[in-house]
Amino acid sequence: MARALTLFDLDHTLLDGDSDVLWCEFLMDRGVLERTLFEPRNRRMQREYGAGSASAQEFCEFYVSTLAGRSHTEWEPLRRDYFAQAIQPRIGAKALELVARHRNRGDTMVLTTATNRFLTELTAGHLGIGHLIATECEVGSDQRFTGCIAGTLNMREGKVTRLHEWLSTQDSVLQDFDTTLYSDSINDLPLLEVVQHPIGVDPDPRLAQEAARRGWPVLSLRIAP
């Protein structure tokens, strides 16, 4: 019997919210980002990305740019506060139970997210997911974040590329596993198409339509209001 490999998207899947959006709100609340300057830029980026005039790379790099100029060590106190205040309360019991069920089965579990590694490491640890594939941030010779993305963006087709790269570090290939993916987003369609068990979680309208067309199961992990 093939080993079980279970992949989880993070934002709007296991997390009831978006890590990057919550990070920016946290920084504005703390005065690290000037709200009157940043909010218009954020709205413009959202519009341009929605209209297709900004690429996925530009969209994700916009959020990574908030880290620029400080090192991992310098950001660490704020990162821990951010996780405790903005992230942990948005991970509901249903999400924890789902992850625990796969852990108890002995699955190899991977959190795969377009959000950068720095913002998602603590979340993966809290969930008890041992492997994290995330967008990587470039670090300069001074050990400070440059605000740029390093390597392949872990989004859309990039999630498939990055998964294959990670598997190669484990001396494995995808065909060695019985594979499952939980995701909310049509952006993950390329990855959903290569796993054996694609599952929609509170899917966006386009993914809900695709799941219905293909007969993929759908579930909800949302936190009750």
**Nearest partner of 18 among 92, 87, 98, judged by Cα:** 87
142 is catalytic: no
Q: Among residues 89, 111, 112, 118, which one has the least CA distance to residue 20?
A: 118
Report the number of secondary-structure helices (H) and strands (E) in the chain.
9, 7
Q: Which residue among 9, 107, 184, 188 is the active-site one?
A: 9
Q: How far is CA 110 from the centre of its chain?
A: 11
User: Does the annotation count 9 as an active-site position?
Assistant: yes
Q: Is residue 96 helix, strand or coil?
A: helix
Q: If phi over 0 gives left and psi between -120 and 50 gives alpha, with beta otherwise, what is residue 214? A: alpha
- Written as six digits, the tokens of 74 are 């310098």
Active-site residue identified among 11, 20, 107, 188? 11
Strand ranges in 170-220 using DSSP code E only, listed in sequence order: 177-183, 197-201, 218-219
Catalytic residues, by residue number, are: 9, 11
